[in-house]
Structure 1
């Protein structure tokens, strides 16, 4: 799928990529979600499927937080307070920890809710706000949302499909 360049394409990319990911997630037995068998978001680390979903929720909620702060005229610490862009592995570990106590089905519901809130955010913005002005450095708001939603959903789906194939779960 091409990189979205307008509001409609961004919504489509999120809905399509998330729909495919959600289908993969729905077939995973709960008991297999906590074993750390996937390559982690930091070099040389392993993560569980639960961690992977926590990562997606974490980034989605961060996108919402950035927008809430920007809309309120407040300063935003990108990517997150206490983290720099070259520390995304540490931020991933924070997300794993933030959501580790949430059971699998509840975490999946939280991801659904986060995606719904992001889609509502996009709907509330004009195409001009999303794609015709810089929002963070050289990046538009639409591109920043895509970087942290549609693209990671595709990546996560690929990781899950590979994991399933290795375990003959397809």
Structure 2
């Protein structure tokens, strides 16, 4: 998918990649969602499908935190307080811990809710605010949102498809 250049393309990218991700998540057998057999976000680690969804929830809720801070006129601590951009593997581990113990269906509901709130926030903004001025260093708000929603959705979809293919017929629902 091409990099979105305006508000409508951003909304289309988020919605399309999210729907494609959900179609792959639905193919994961429920008994396997907590099995740590996917390559993790930090080098040399393993994660479960539930961890992967927790990671997406974490990033979506972080984007919402950024947008709320921006609306309040407060300084945004990118990417997250206590983390630098070269520590994203550790941030992923934090997300796994933050959502540990939440039932898988509730994680999916939380992801859907966060995604819908992001979409609503985008819809309430003008294209100029999203794409015509830098927001973080030289990146626009729209690009930062895309980096942390549509791109991770697409990456997660690819990881899950690869995992499902490698796991063979036993991983396919009847």
User: Do Structure 1 and Structure 2 share a fold, with TM-score over 0.5?
Assistant: yes
Calculate the aligned-residue CA RMSD, in Å.
0.8
Alignment partner of 1:57 is 2:63: no
Aligned to 2:48: 48
Aligned to 2:121: 121
Q: What is the deviation of 1:26?
A: 1.5
Q: What is the deviation of 1:145?
A: 0.3
Q: What is the deviation of 1:6?
A: 0.3
Aligned to 1:99: 99
Aligned to 1:71: 71
Spell out the pairing of 1:1-170 with structure 2 (5 A cutoff): 1-168=1-168, 169=171
Aligned length: 170
Specify every segment of 5 or more residues in structure 1 that has no aligned partner in the other structure, as ranges: none
Q: What is the deviation of 1:31?
A: 1.3
Q: Distance in 2 between matches of 1:31 and 1:67?
A: 36
Q: What is the deviation of 1:29?
A: 1.8
Q: What is the deviation of 1:101?
A: 1.2
Q: What is the deviation of 1:27?
A: 2.1
Runs of 4+ off more than 2 Å = none
Q: Distance in 2 between matches of 1:142 and 1:42?
A: 26
Specify every segment of 5 or more residues in structure 2 that has no aligned partner in the other structure, as ranges: none
After superposition, the C-alpha distances for 1:6-30 in whole angstroms (9 at most, x for unaligned) are 0000000001000000111122122
Q: What is the deviation of 1:135?
A: 0.5
